[in-house]
Chains A and B, each alone.
Chain A
Amino acid sequence: MAELDDIIHQPLRLKLMAALNALPVASGLEFARLKKLTGATDGNLGAHIETLAKAGYVSVDKAFVGKKPQTTVTATAAGRGAFARHVATLQEIIAGGQV
């Protein structure tokens, strides 16, 4: 049985990857929207996005919309693959025992 991905398995990072993976490829979500969807605080969300970015699972784009800074987070191909494997492992656990 495959191993669970420790980076994705953390509850907030799992939510982030699930949200980003639900979008079409190359589409991202703004920081404010991710905050609303996950219910996380700014600091907590920022730290977990950074962890995912360091692992190469998400890309972070910072731009200005008018005068306001806007951060957009997008799942990378590696992130989508890792998330799919993580979900498959969860399903295997449900089907046949423990990891």
Chain B
Amino acid sequence: MIDSKQASAALAEIDDIVQRVKQSQLYELASLAAIWWGVLVFAGNVVTWLWPYYAVYAWPAVDILGVGGLVAIRLLSPPHVQGAAFDIRLVLVFVLFFAFGYICTNMLGHFGPRQLGAFWPIYFMLFYTLAGLWFGTAFVAIGLGIIALTLIGFFWIGEAFPLWMAFVNGGGLILGGLWMRRI
């Protein structure tokens, strides 16, 4: 025999576990995406550090492989982690993200390599952090951590800034992704 209070508590428990299942599925996908982007960003920064001339080719390649990888992760994931059906608005999000970044860095301002190296991670991590306000504190922690370390590198690390960013941004995403899998 249970009363309405106990029934409400049982339903609240069900809601809680359903939310946790959904968050766990989201973290599973997000961790793969973070690790993939981390590897690419690490490689992009190492190329920029070792062969600055080729950075102009490396970063578009990182972006294309990064977005392509996200689509592949989404399509190859088992059904229980895929969540909602593919939404064309996700593509639009990336188009708007890169278009706005391009307008800021090339039209409103003319950013040099160092400014570009700081702007894109901060800009990307801003959205990551904002998403975390809805999807889970792991996103917020990873986003704010990488933004803070990027700013430290921008102001205090000299010529080795791309190498710093390889470890901070690339390494941060890889570690963040691995951490998400353990939550």
Contacts and interface: CB of A to CB of B under 8 A. Distances in A.
Chain B at the A interface: mostly helix, strand, loop or mixed? helix
B3 A98 contact: yes
A65 interface: no
Given A24-B80, A90-B10, A91-B11, A37 B4 contact: no
Given A23-B21, A37-B20, A37-B24, A98 B4 contact: yes
Interface residues of B, number: 19
B13 to A, nearest CB: 6
A73 B10 CA distance: 22
A24 B18 contact: no
A4 B17 CA distance: 20
Contacts of B3: 93, 98
Interface string B1-36: 111100110110110011011101000000000000
A15 B17 contact: yes
B78 interface: yes
How many chain A residues sit at the interface, stated as a range, is 20 to 34
Contact of A4 (B2, B4, B14, B79): B2
Interface in B42-90: 78-80
Contact of A28 (B13, B22, B80): B80
B11 A94 contact: yes
Interface in A37-74: 37-38
B4 A87 contact: no
16 contacts: A11-B13, A14-B10, A18-B21, A22-B18, A24-B80, A27-B79, A28-B80, A29-B80, A33-B24, A37-B20, A37-B21, A87-B14, A90-B10, A93-B4, A94-B4, A97-B4
